[in-house]
Structure 1
Amino acid sequence: MNKLVTREDAATVSMPQPVGFWHAFVFWLKLGFISFGGPAGQISIMHQELVENRRWISERRFLHALNYCMVLPGPEAQQLATYIGWLMHRTWGGIVAGVLFVLPSLLILIILSWVYIAFGEMSLVAGLFYGIKPAVTAIVVQAAHRIGLRALKNNWLWGIAIVSFIAIFAANVPFPAIVAGAALLGYAGGRIAPEKFRIGDGHGKAGKAFGPAIIDDNTPPPEHVKFRWFRLFRVVVAGALLWLVPMGALTAFYGWNHTLTQMGWFFTKGALLTFGGAYAVLPYVYQGAVGHYAWLTPTQMIDGLALGETTPGPLIMVVAFVGFVGGYVKALFGPDALFLAGAVAASIVTWFTFLPSFLFILAGGPLVESTHNELKFTAPLTAITAAVVGVILNLALFFGYHVLWPKGFNGGFDWVSALIALGAAVALFRFKRNVIHVIAACAGIGLILKTMLL
């Protein structure tokens, strides 16, 4: 039933059966284990399953929800799953869809992080990551290029990207300050030259039909999606309590300066700054987690990104790796409970990172129609996305330095890593190879070089 039909013929296709909560639960669980490929791949999977195959939601309604999620901070694919789950089965439907999109990735990353930190010195693991690190550098360059093609549509936006790069590279301006400055420039630019700050058509226009859907173009909005002030107040209060209670408990038991408390606070701020996707928040994470708190080293940060790229779920789940390594290395619960410390830290980091995403959907969903295409809301986000391009380019240089000069400029240039990075870049840019395939190939090359030739 995934065959494309004309809108005239769509009415003759049978209506799909209503979907129960537990039927949807099984689908969201399955999606959590197969959601590889980053945001584009995950959104493609959801479109194929929900719009084409199952017809739970129409093309137009799917894109409408997606465009809203695109202008929010946080992982748009996870937010889109939460949004559709909420449309279908109220608040618990959204919570289940969003949690199951993340939970399998968290469990997998905890195990992989433990293997990495506990056995990383073994020649097998070291060889794999020797090849993976240069590939990650090429992947970040590709991310900057991909976002740049979408975001830098005119000289104004190019200028914002260049200024943001200089600010973070030369002046080490904090990432939150760059986001705030870009937002102000976008707001002003939207008033001075509005045509320069209009967003495009998102991921496409709704011009296709796959037959009638359960949530169709003209389906009346159910009661739970209509805006009510009391409902908004209830969601905001519940969200505040879900943040205050664990943060208060961490502060009461361990103190404000304890690693777990600071992780909760640090990643709460990070969750509000992830405009432009996961790659946008990585500079903020390495500025804080690597530079300020020293929860992990630059090399470990690169390795964590590689693990995040090869596991299902949002790429921003790399923060779980950061939390695990920080908790494990600092032995928060003593030398006999290293795994427990890492797992608890990873779980806390994940909680504070994703909580705002749920609140944005549950609180903001009913307001989508009134704000979606208004320039005063979208112009600052357009400027922020442009600034993100410059920030990600700086991140690529940061990774490249630590991969190609692993012992600093005085320690010599790693020509082998440079060749692996070049090969990965060719595979990504010229041959459009899948990220997971590139990482797997480079890991194999690194293993061979480390164990047989070097």
Structure 2
Amino acid sequence: MVRTLQGARNGEATAEGHFPGFSEGVRTWARIAALSFGGPAGQIAVMHRILVEEKRWIGERRFLHALNFCMLLPGPEAQQLAVYIGWLMHRTAGGLVAGTLFVLPGLVSIMALSVVYALYGKVAVVQGLFLGLKAAVLAIVFDAVLRIGRRALRNAAMVALAAASFIAIFAFAMPFPLIIAAAALLGYLGRRAGLVAFANGGLGAGAPLENDDAGTALGEAIPVHARAGGMRALTVAAVLLVLWLGPVAALLALLGPGNVFADIALFFSQMALVTFGGAYAVLAYVAQEAVGTYGWLAPGEMLDGLGMAETTPGPLIMVTQFVGFMGAFRDPSGLPPLAAGILGGLLTTWVTFTPCFLWIFLGAPHVERLRENRALAAALSAITAAVVGVILNLAVWFALHVVFGEVRTVEGLGMRLAVPEPGSIRPVAAALSAFALLAVFRLRCGMMTVLALSAAAGIALQLAGLGA
């Protein structure tokens, strides 16, 4: 059954638009969630094919405009796009259903794999599986550097900003949030000063629609609830804010800093504020803190978690659930380790994704105003350039810990450089990594093909006694 929204003139929609009934919307979002493999690019493509081309519920311009808005926000843009479109069609309930269903398959899959990893990680087949996945993920991350770099580094200033970002995080261990803040400030001030390099900033990781009238970018029929103004959005945002930060405050008050659950809640809540640039960018920050500061994971285990996230549906940032699971599993605070791990994983997912709903419900009605702000667009363009350097750091960090068994830190002149021990090279891991890189860059194999081939090769080598 199709529900017709018809607005009046003078500030409301000027033509008819067709949205589905709520139950049909739920079924469609469940279908999209089940097909949401392949990272944000693949997930966005699935949504576009089903919502724009197949169902024709929204138009091309409206879809792209919504995507550009979601790229302005911290958090996984594909999941936030689902929340936005669900909200546009069926108000708050639609956004909650769309966003939750989008995350649910990944939550269940990663939780199950985390349990298997924690209990049976020493089994040869499991070790071989993750040996192959590490090599594949390494190649995929290097491919992400090139893809995002081609899109974001449009002039020498952007290239310099990416290089400075890489040096800051790789050589000086500068925190990811500080790099993002500095890049945003530079882009904003550069645009306000009229510098040519920042004059044509895009929206986040994408670019603004060319010759697009802000009044028509969302399509013809704009529901009344999508207009700025009114108390409904503020009320919903206030409830979500309490749901997000309430458990964090309670855990800190009851357990105190230093408890693993309080640390998980606080850290991943902070992460939710700075996850610009997609999952690959923020994973460098997560790996830096989870391995170096909190000791929740060993370096190679972060790649194992990323391999899980790459091979399951849902947002790639769902790898954080694995991090929270392992952190609580190893420091259960008096609980049975498996129960603690499950609670840690669920807590991580809650504080990571609840803010995504908050940003959409609070900001979506003001999307037009944001779109017209050129200084803000320049700031986001600078952030995207800096993110290229951060993702390159992630790729190098992964490469060092996959190919070499020992990596030491050399300090001097204010720098802290990770330097591998040449004698600790892992020949099998290096060979698998070379195979994955060849498959991605020379043979142009798809992501799922590379993951499947690498996993199969890793299992075969492990069972043959040739594992790393």
The amino acid across from 2:453 in the alignment is: A
Q: Give the corresponding residue for 1:12.
A: none
- Counterpart of 2:237 in structure 1 is 236
Cα deviation for residue 388 of structure 1 reads 0.8
- Looking at structure 2, the residues matched to 205 and 227 of structure 1 have their Cα atoms a distance apart, in angstroms, of 21
Other-structure match for 1:167: 168
Other-structure match for 1:158: 159
Cα distance in structure 1, aligned partners of 2:464 and 2:321: 33
Match of 2:417 in 1: none
The question of whether the paired residues in 1 share the 8 Å contact of 2:74 and 2:274 is answered with yes
Structure 1 distance, partners of 2:232, 2:428, is 58
- Is the 2:86–2:94 contact (alpha carbons within 8 Å) kept by the matching residues of 1? yes
Work out which structure has the larger RCO, using CA pairs closer than 8 Å and 6 or more positions apart in sequence. 1
Partner Cα distance (1:193, 1:405) in 2: 47
Alignment of 1:289-438 (within 5 A): 289-334=290-335, 337-408=336-407, 409=421, 411-438=423-450
Structure 2 vs 1, CA of residues 284 and 431 (structure 1 numbering), >3 Å: closer, same or farther? Answer: same
Give the secondary structure class of the aligned counterpart of 2:219: coil
Which residue number in structure 1 is paired with residue 283 of structure 2? 282
The change in CA–CA distance for 1:229 and 1:130 in structure 2 (over 3 A counts) is: same
More displaced stretch, 421-430 vs 283-292: 421-430
Shift of the alpha carbon at 1:332? 3.2
The Cα of 1:255 is off from its aligned counterpart by: 2.2
> Could you say if the C-alpha distance between residues 377 and 413 of structure 1 is closer, same or farther in structure 2, counting changes exceeding 3 Å?
same
**Distance in 1 between residues matched to 2:372 and 2:444, nearest whole Å:** 33
Tell me if the contact between 2:17 and 2:220 (Cα under 8 Å) persists in the aligned partners: no
Amino acid paired to 2:181 = A
Give the structure with the larger helix fraction.
Answer: 1
The separation in 2 between residues aligned to 1:65 and 1:302, in whole angstroms, is: 32
Over residues 304-351 of structure 1, what are the superposed CA-to-partner deviations in whole Å (9 max), with x where a residue is unaligned? 0110100100000000110111111112343xx222111111111111
- Residues 101-126 of structure 1 show CA distances to partners (whole Å, capped at 9, x for unaligned) of 00111111100011011101011111
Provide the secondary structure at the position in 2 that maps to 1:141.
helix
Q: Structure 2 CA distance, aligned partners of 1:381 and 1:235? A: 27
1:148 & 1:193 partners in 2: Cα distance? 24
2:416 paired residue number: none
Equivalents in 2 of 1:428, 1:352: separation in Å? 34
Match of 1:6 in 2: none
Tell me the equivalent position of 2:266.
Answer: 265
Structural RMSD (CA)? 2.0
Cα distance in 2 for residues equivalent to 1:205 and 1:223 = 24
For residues 433 and 205 of structure 1, what CA distance do their matches in structure 2 show?
31
SS in 1 for 2:231: helix
Deviation at 1:451, TM superposition (A): 1.3
2:276 is paired with a residue whose SS is coil
Question: Aligned partners of 1:253, 1:231: CA distance in 2, in Å?
Answer: 33
Tell me which amino acid in the other structure corresponds to 1:313: G
Cα deviation, 1:286-321, whole Å, max 9, x if unaligned, reads 111111011111111110011010010000000011
Structure 1 match to 2:458: 446
Looking at structure 2, the residues matched to 118 and 303 of structure 1 have their Cα atoms a distance apart, in angstroms, of 14
Give me the identity figure in percent: 49
Instruction: After superposition, give the CA deviation of every residue in 1:193-249 in whole Å (9 maximum; x if it has no partner).
Output: 454222358378599xxxxxxx98211x22211112523432332232112321232
Q: Which runs of 5+ in 2 are unaligned?
A: 1-15, 212-216, 408-420
Tell me how far apart the structure 2 counterparts of residues 299 and 98 of structure 1 sit (CA, whole Å): 31
1:33–1:105 CA contact under 8 A, matched in 2: no
**Equivalent residue in structure 2 for 1:217, among 199, 216, 219:** 219
* TM-score, normalised by the number of residues in structure 2: 0.88
Moved more, 58-67 or 421-430: 421-430
CA offset at residue 391 of structure 1?
1.1
For 1:23-102, list aligned pairs within 5 A.
23-102=24-103
- The 2-side partners of 1:29 and 1:318 are apart by 21
Where do 5+ consecutive residues of structure 1 fail to align? 1-14, 208-214
Distance 2:177 2:331 in 1: 27
